[in-house]
Chain A
Amino acid sequence: MRDRIAIALAGAAAGLLAWNLYKMFLVLPDEAMQGPIFRILFFHAPAAMVGMTGYFVALVLSILYLSSNQLRFDALAASIIEVSLVFSLINIVTGSIWARIIWGVWWTWDYRLTSQLVCILIFAAYLMLRRGIDEPTQRARLSSALCIFGCIDVVIVWKSIEWFRNLHPGPVLSIRTGGGHMDPAYERVFYWNLLALLLVGISLVLIRTRQEATAREIDSLRRLAHAQ
């Protein structure tokens, strides 16, 4: 049943993505000041939003695991963080490409990109921690604790780097154009793409969660075999 939902979601995501790409490339005109590269922002910002949302959903799941001791919460949290990490990477890479075209440099120390990089480091460490612990219950407990620390730190990091940038200004990546508003036509595609990326993310999480459940089953069978 869950497989069918995953496939349906993946199909919907693919379809929506295809439709959006069509709209983006063939229907919408180039943006006045930025040219064709502007289209990358339809992926850049939604990826960040999906990623960030993922981290905080994982925070809630980690707290749920610690209250209930049910390993499925932990498996879900880990899957979501892994997928969110991918979206954060998409955010960084697309931001970098955009910066190269617009500003001529691969990296601008824009506060949002920098904060996103710190998030990537924190949650990459989360994944490394999980790899380093064999025993599932201990792994769940420690990574849940780490997720709580990490998510709270993300908030502090974001704010502190923003303040830092206010004191030491530099080039800024912005989805706002011209007078600070996005044209409604662009905005529509933007939000549809946000939905598409969200659906992609959810399908990936469903696949990953299934892998985690299988891995746990193998682990317990292995322990059972060794105990005989």
Chain B
Amino acid sequence: MQHERLLLGEAKTPERLARPAFTLATPLRELVQAWWIARKDLAIELRTKESVNAAGAFAITILLMFSFAFDPTEAENRAYFGGLLWLVFAFAGALIFNRGFARELPNECLDALLASPLSPSSLLLGKAISIFAMLVLVEFASLLVFGVFYDVRWWRHAGPLAGVFLLATWGIAVIGAVFGALTVNLRLRELMLPILVYPVLIPLLIAATELSGTLFQNQPFSSDQLLWVRLLIVFDVVFTALAAALAETILLN
């Protein structure tokens, strides 16, 4: 068949199997491959809508339940809204990242992916990207409902809020993807994943809560709070790098 042509370049670094892999490949190629994986997952999600519907319904239910736990109309309770929202996202997010790598289990698709020229770090990043996209969608829907139920005019600070949400959501997506990969072959996967993910996410949730809370109360960021922005960035950078470096170690067993 003469129309075949190899598109990808050579690997730059020899990858040894017997010892653990801290592999480096061309960043651009990695991103392209990651995008293919993300696109595939999002295409499936668009068709089945299973994760997003479940997570969205769950988020709205929790928002509703919290309104019974404390009175959202009382002024002093407004200080808690940041924390409330991020708790909702963390729990609803579990429904999304639980599916992340589990999608690859039926028909042993994970083996087919690992045996292909796709690099494990691209696979992990691709999963993180698809989790990120789904979570952002759920967050946006929740924000709309939240604004209505709790009378929070968040759109006044749409810019900074978007920044906080994107940074924090990426952190959740990376951690969800990494631990999803770690637990994919375990029989207690669904139980282990939240137990592993939530303690690690605590710093990120603290930062997101502080920043969102400030914005919801119509206050600008103080210099103290810029510290939290820096924390989010450090968290994202460190764990994304770590995820890329340890992807092969985690996925090959």
Complex contact flag A–B (Cβ < 8 Å): yes
Give CA–CA (A150, B175) in the complex, Å.
Answer: 11
Cβ of A118 < 8 Å from any Cβ of B? yes
B199 and A141 contacting across the interface, CB-CB below 8 Å: no
Give B236-253 interface residues, CB cut-off 8 Å to A. 238-239, 242, 246, 249-250, 253
Known contacts: A66-B249, A67-B19, A156-B235. The answer to whether A146 contacts B203 by CB under 8 A is no
Give CA–CA (A226, B18) in the complex, Å.
Answer: 26
Q: What band does the interface of chain B fall in when counting residues whose beta carbon is under 8 Å from A?
A: 20 to 34
Task: Return the CB mask of A138-159 against B: 1 if under 8 Å, else 0.
Answer: 1001101110111011001101
B246 and A145 contacting across the interface, CB-CB below 8 Å: yes
Q: Considering the complex, give the chain A residue whose CB is closest to the CB of B20.
A: A66
Known contacts: A122-B199, A138-B253, A160-B203. The answer to whether A152 contacts B227 by CB under 8 A is no
A125 and B196 contacting across the interface, CB-CB below 8 Å: yes
Cβ of A5 < 8 Å from any Cβ of B? no
CB distance from B201 to the nearest CB of A (A): 9
Q: Considering the complex, give the chain A residue whose CB is closest to the CB of B243.
A: A149
Cβ of B32 < 8 Å from any Cβ of A? no
Give A116-150 interface residues, CB cut-off 8 Å to B. 118, 121-122, 125, 128-129, 132-133, 137-138, 141-142, 144-146, 148-150
A133 and B186 contacting across the interface, CB-CB below 8 Å: yes
Query: Chain B interface secondary structure, helix, strand, loop or mixed?
Result: helix
B250 and A160 contacting across the interface, CB-CB below 8 Å: no
Cβ of A34 < 8 Å from any Cβ of B? no
Give B215-245 interface residues, CB cut-off 8 Å to A. 224, 227-228, 231, 234-235, 238-239, 242
Task: Return the CB mask of B178-190 against A: 1 if under 8 Å, else 0.
Answer: 1000110111100
Kindly list the 5 A-B residue pairs having the minimum CB-CB distance in the complex, ordered from nearest: A160-B203, A121-B199, A66-B20, A122-B199, A138-B253
Mark A residues whose CB is within 8 Å of B: 66-69, 118, 121-122, 125, 128-129, 132-133, 137-138, 141-142, 144-146, 148-150, 152-153, 156-157, 159-161, 163-164, 166-167
Mark B residues whose CB is within 8 Å of A: 18-20, 178, 182-183, 185-188, 192, 195-196, 198-200, 202-203, 206-207, 210, 224, 227-228, 231, 234-235, 238-239, 242, 246, 249-250, 253
- 15 CB-based A-B contacts, threshold 8 Å: A66-B20, A66-B249, A69-B18, A128-B195, A133-B186, A141-B249, A146-B182, A146-B196, A148-B242, A149-B246, A152-B242, A157-B203, A159-B203, A159-B231, A164-B206
